[in-house]
Chains A and B, each alone.
Chain A
Amino acid sequence: NAGVMQNPRHLVRRRGQEARLRCSPMKGHSHVYWYRQLPEEGLKFMVYLQKENIIDESGMPKERFSAEFPKEGPSILRIQQVVRGDSAAYFCASSPTTSGLSYEQYFGPGTRLTVT
């Protein structure tokens, strides 16, 4: 059973370009979470999605950032017009719960975004 997969592992973008980060959850998992880790800091929650629904985006910046988890395919975190401050490691996690709450979150290896 493959774990959570993220690609690309490393992404370099110039200021003003768009960054697209992909996350494929573990098989059978329908819940996806995105976290951002700035250097020397802990992981900060960004958004929680189920298939075709955004459940909680309270940690997502209001501008330039968006996330989706379509019925088919991976979850996408999209950052438009990137700035240097967006440089960070972005982690995706998935969980198996289909109802109620689960505290099990399995993390992917992360995408390291560098904005030059």
Chain B
Amino acid sequence: DQQVKQNSPSLSVQEGRISILNCDYTNSMFDYFLWYKKYPAEGPTFLISISSIKDKNEDGRFTVFLNKSAKHLSLHIVPSQPGDSAVYFCAATSYRFGQNFVFGPGTRLSVLP
């Protein structure tokens, strides 16, 4: 039973345009969400996070939106750059789970020059 879903395995976007990566979750106990970026042969690197008390968090070109009623979050990258090409993982957790992160399966983003 996948508690965190990323239904698009891949996404292609033109350089300079907006990339929107989506994530859905099923467990209403999750109260903290993170996005990680992963290049081939490297470990995931933290990108941005959001607490359930917020509906938006912005950091430079990256913005995460959270819709708790729909159990949906999205990552917006504007403008997209070729160096953003990577696999993006959505992760969810809760203080009730301790340090246990639940990851989605990932979306492979390709930014075309």
Which A residues form the contact surface with B (CB < 8 A)? 4, 6, 31, 33, 35, 40-45, 48, 55-56, 58-59, 91, 93, 95, 101-110
Which of chain A's residues has its CB closest to B90's CB? A42
Question: Once the chains are docked, how many angstroms separate the CA of A93 from the CA of B38?
Answer: 14
Is the C-beta of B102 less than 8 angstroms from some C-beta in chain A? Answer: yes
Assuming A45-B100, A109-B41, is B95 touching A101 (CB within 8 A)? Answer: yes
Task: Indicate which residue in B9, B95, B101 contacts A105 across the interface (CB closer than 8 Å).
Answer: B101
A33 near B99: Cβ-Cβ < 8 Å: yes
Whether the pair B103, A43 counts as a contact (CB closer than 8 A) is: yes
Report which of B32, B43, B46, B103 forms a contact with A4, defined as CB distance below 8 A: B43
Note all chain A residues with C-beta closer than 8 A to B102: 45
Residues in B neighbouring A35, C-beta threshold 8 A: 101, 103
A107 & B100 in contact (Cβ 8 Å cutoff): no
Smallest CB-CB A-B distances: 5 pairs: A107-B43, A42-B103, A42-B105, A43-B103, A107-B44
In the bound complex, residues from chain B placing their C-beta under 8 Å from that of A48 are 98-100
Are A31 and B43 within 8 A (Cβ)? no
Is B46's CB under 8 angstroms from A91's CB? no
Contacts A91-B43, A103-B34; is A42 near B99 (CB within 8 Å)?
Answer: no
What residues of A have a CB within 8 angstroms of the CB of B41 in the complex?
109-110
Residues of B within 8 A of A (CB): 4, 6, 9, 32, 34, 36, 41-46, 49, 89, 93, 95, 98-106
Cβ of A103 and Cβ of B44 under 8 Å apart?
no
B106 touches A105 (CB 8 A): no
Please indicate which of the listed interface residues B36, B42, B43, B106 has the most CB atoms of chain A within 10 Å of its own CB: B43
Residues of chain B with a CB closer than 8 A to A55's CB: 98-99
Further contacts, 16 of them, CB under 8 A, given A59-B100, A109-B42: A31-B99, A40-B105, A41-B105, A42-B103, A42-B104, A42-B105, A43-B44, A45-B101, A45-B102, A48-B98, A56-B99, A56-B100, A101-B95, A103-B32, A103-B34, A103-B93
| A6–B42 CA distance with the chains assembled, in angstroms | 11
